[in-house]
Chain A
Amino acid sequence: MSFWEYANPKKFMETSSWLLPWVAIGSLLCLVVGLIWGFFFTPDDFRQGSTVKIIYLHVPSALMAINAWLMMLVCSLIWIVRRHHVSALAARAAAPIGVTMTLIALATGALWGQPMWGTYWAWDPRLTSFLILFLFYLGYIALWEAIENSDTAADLTSVLCLVGSVFALLSRYAVNFWNQGLHQGASLSLDKEENVADVFYFPLLVCIAGFVLLFVALVLIRTRTEIRARRISALRARQRLNDTSPSATPKEA
């Protein structure tokens, strides 16, 4: 069986309808367990106090903000190369979720930054990059909304996504060049000695898993909605054609 079978909307609807509840339940479990574990059963950090606990929201949402864009990039490429409509619709479905994740990351970061750095906002490279990513999301969503023909919109937003990815990467480095930051290094990495302590680490992993599953569930729901919307407009179009075509008259009689 080929992976591309899921590009068939019928197959996608069938598969996603039984997959969706499991993903949703999994995400709910992970989030409840991870957040309760993180908020109530981990010690306060010796420097940051209880404010450190916001990382259970901040880090996963920031990760998903970037991963949602990556997913849109992959979907756009699939659409451009293989022209699978489900792929384009999934990219469209992911964008508002990505922008929400970016907002959550920015907002939780600001709330954490106030007690830690003494300010809600600083033009630190990481913060700035996220703000720029937010703008890219807005442009992408606005282009989808502005164009009526959905194939045209899918084509144009895919091109925008490709070009935008290059420029987003470029902005990331430009921003680093422009201002060396005060944001601490990555909280998670595989090759660094200095990492978040294990007590914080495991609940964080559970939260990240929860956010990944939440993202998948939301994308599935929204893609299903988009597919149903397309189906409605296809049915309406067929109805209109049948109403106007002369061959339809004898059938009704």
Chain B
Amino acid sequence: MIALLRRDLALTLRSGGGFGLALAFFLILVVLIPFGVGPQSELLSRIAPGVLWVGALLACLLSLDRIFQLDFEDGSLDLLATSPLPLESLALLKALTHWLTTGLPLTVAAPFLGVFLSLPGEAVVWLVSSLALGTPALSLIGAFGAALTVGLKRGGLLISLLVLPLYVPTLIFGAECVRRGAEGLAASTPLLFVAGITAGCVAALPFATASALRVNLR
């Protein structure tokens, strides 16, 4: 299992496109927002939690179609499916790799981008913790969407349509947590909900992902 994780990380690093792309997209999105809504800092600080969460979510979406597609095209997914590694672990590992190369860097970058949007200082800790707990759920749900569309030639757009509605609860609780943090309210309840969603996704979604992969490999 470690071998697969190491291989996929090496592949993402060598082929480029991995972290770099998601981070650059996140940066550009956050920079564009003030051009759209104007430079008043009190307005920006009010919308900052939502913008940062939506930005991270969209940046996650960019690389979803690559989770299984490359392995499917070159035939290694067939070989992995017939290997001793259960497909459920494969699903979990792929989501983990995706998180390590997108969710984690986004979480680290988010506080710095918060500065552009005059995010209040007290919200930073909530921003980082909600993203750290919430982005794994985004990767797991994304891996499920990727497994559903792996056999399709142009699955990219379809993934967005399938996955975005599934992202709604995570986004609501995540952004709510940061908003409450920014307003100085108690923010731990939504944070717990985010953690709960991620825990549920870790427990259940790899099975759904694996069954979708099995169907697509038939």
Contact = CB atoms under 8 A, between A and B. Distances in A.
Nearest to A167: B166
A159 B148 contact: yes
Contacts of A168: 165
Given A156-B215, A162-B208, A177-B190, A171 B169 contact: yes
Interface residues of B, number: 27
B151 A147 contact: yes
A180 to B, nearest CB: 13
A96 interface: no
B162 A139 contact: yes
Interface in A119-171: 132, 135-136, 138-139, 142-143, 146-147, 152, 155-156, 159-160, 162-164, 167-168, 170-171
A152 B148 contact: no
A174 B169 contact: yes
B149 A146 contact: yes
Contacts of A174: 168-169, 172-173, 193
A164 B169 contact: no
Chain B at the A interface: SS class: helix
B115 interface: no
A167 B216 CA distance: 23
Nearest to A133: B165
B24 interface: no
A152 B215 contact: yes
A163 B167 CA distance: 12
B168 A143 contact: no
Nearest to A160: B148
Interface in B130-156: 144, 148-149, 151-152, 155
B197 interface: yes
A134 to B, nearest CB: 9
A182 to B, nearest CB: 18
A163 B151 contact: no
A56 to B, nearest CB: 30
Contacts of B190: 177
A204 interface: no
B129 interface: no
B208 to A, nearest CB: 5
A143 B162 contact: yes
Given A159-B208, A159-B211, A178-B176, A167 B169 contact: yes
Contact of B166 (A142, A159, A163, A178): A163
A139 B161 contact: yes
Nearest to B167: A167
A149 to B, nearest CB: 9
A219 interface: no
Contacts of A132: 165, 168
B104 interface: no
A122 B44 CA distance: 23
A247 to B, nearest CB: 28
A49 to B, nearest CB: 35
Given A160-B148, A174-B169, A177-B190, A142 B215 contact: no
Contacts of B193: 174, 177
B172 A163 contact: no
A206 interface: no
Listed residue (B161, B165, B205) with the most chain A CB atoms within 10 angstroms of its CB = B165
A86 interface: no
B77 to A, nearest CB: 15
Nearest to A170: B169
A225 to B, nearest CB: 24
Given A138-B161, A177-B173, A152 B218 contact: yes
